Amino acid sequence: MSGSVSNTVPAITSSLSQLQALNGLFAIYKKQGPTSADVLNVLKEALLKEAGVKNPNPRKRKNQSLKMGHGGTLDSAASGVLVVGVGNGTKMLSTMLTGSKKYVAVGEFGKATDTLDATGSVTLEKGFEHITRLDVEEKLKAFTGDIMQVPPLYSALKKDGQRLSVLLKKGHKVDAKPARPVTVYSLTLQEFKPPLFTLDIECGGGFYVRSLVDDLGKALSSCAHVKELVRTKQGPFTLEEHALHEEQWTLEHVLRSLKTCSEGDPEEDHPKPKKSYNEKREQRRLSRLPCCWTCTDL
């Protein structure tokens, strides 16, 4: 599933019929800045242009010439693996929503923001000099396993059909969503250089790293926000081995990376930690939902 291409293999000429015949999953690299939907649109436009479609409009949802969606929204400020489904592969994206994910997060003690990351406005500043590496490692134990977590206000979650983040930017009052069960398989402190600290996280679907870092700061009698976030794994797709960068968004590279529907569940050949009852229940619920043009974490 590597994105590399041998110089000895002849280039593949793309056509719309070839694109429309694709069915499966592959991974791309989302850079920091654009939204996940924006990145998907750029990918789709690049493939349609290669296929000879004049003036492709990837944002047009009706009568789509290429069925494509992504499984699991990354914040605009985050980067890393974004799994894409094409054709019948979009039906497999619910697995990406609830499956195992890995992140590397850089947090900063001493400042809290309204978005819980570096893109927001500072809402609180507190001292952090009392925090030691041992303190952090001890507190992380309470955030491992099956836990309850309150999602951030600025998120892809919706109210009356609109994302909370959009409502907030429009000036609407938004109440926090109730705490919900999430699963953290592993959580370790990689680096501790106050005020900065780096966490390595493996979690299930519906988990928010921003909420974790905010809660950690409060638990240590301070405050904190996410300074940098990279998703290094989503399901069986890893950043190093599978994620196609923008210069690789061609039919040839997609064909080399595609895990087809006929190969079954993309998780089958990649062992992962046993799912909790809550995660299994959430996956069953998601599997009953129609897959939309752009799938997001719920």
Note the pLDDT tens digit of each residue in 119-172: 999 999 999 999 999 999 999 999 999 999 998 886 655 555 555 555 455 565
Name the E strands within 61-144.
68-71, 79-86, 101-109, 111-113, 122-125
What is the H or E stretch that residue 279 is in?
A: helix 277-287
User: Closest Cα to residue 110, out of 189, 201, 213?
Assistant: 213
% pLDDT > 70, the chain: 72
Confidence of residue 5 (pLDDT cuts 50, 70, 90): very low
- 268 versus 35: which is more confidently predicted? 35
- 243 versus 273: which is more confidently predicted? 243
Q: Name which of 50-54, 63-67, 90-94, 183-187 the model is least confident about.
A: 63-67
Q: Name which of 46-55, 211-220, 281-290 the model is least confident about.
A: 281-290
Predicted confidence at residue 47, as pLDDT, reads: 94
Structural domains in the chain plus CATH codes = 15-57+64-99+235-257 (no CATH), 101-234 (3.30.2350.10)
How much is the average pLDDT of 67-80? Answer: 92
CA distance 203 to 275: 10
Predicted confidence at residue 63, as pLDDT, reads: 63
Q: List alpha helices for 126-269, DSSP H.
A: 133-140, 164-169, 209-219, 251-257
Average pLDDT, the chain: 82
Catalytic status, residue 75: yes
How much is the average pLDDT of 85-110? Answer: 90
> Residue 226, class by beta-carbon neighbours within 10 Å (0-12 exposed, 13-18 middle, 19+ buried)?
buried
Whether 294 shows a pLDDT value over 50: the answer reads no
Please give the distance of CA 212 from its chain centroid, rounded to a whole number: 15
How far, CA to CA in Å, does 56 sit from each of 3, 236, 262? 25, 31, 29
Whether 8 shows a pLDDT value over 50: the answer reads no
Predicted confidence at residue 218, as pLDDT, reads: 97
Whether 277 shows a pLDDT value over 60: the answer reads no
How much is the average pLDDT of 86-107? Answer: 89
Whether 45 shows a pLDDT value over 80: the answer reads yes
Phi and psi at residue 119, in whole multiples of 5°?
-80, -15
Q: Name which of 113-117, 221-225, 264-268 the model is least confident about.
A: 264-268
Give the amino acid at 191: E
Q: What's the first-to-final CA gap in the chain, in angstroms?
A: 28
How much is the average pLDDT of 9-14? Answer: 51
Whether 109 shows a pLDDT value over 90: the answer reads yes
- 293 versus 116: which is more confidently predicted? 116
Q: Which of the residues 38, 75, 200, 214 is marked catalytic?
A: 75
Note the pLDDT tens digit of each residue in 220-264: 999 999 999 999 999 999 999 999 999 999 999 999 999 986 544
Whether 58 shows a pLDDT value over 90: the answer reads no
Residue pair 107/199 in contact (Cβ under 8 Å)? The answer is yes
Whether 82 shows a pLDDT value over 90: the answer reads yes
Whether 37 shows a pLDDT value over 70: the answer reads yes
For 271-280, b/e burial (b = at least 16 CB within 10 A) is eeeebbebbe
How much is the average pLDDT of 165-187? Answer: 73
The pTM of the full predicted model, rounded to 2 decimals, is 0.78
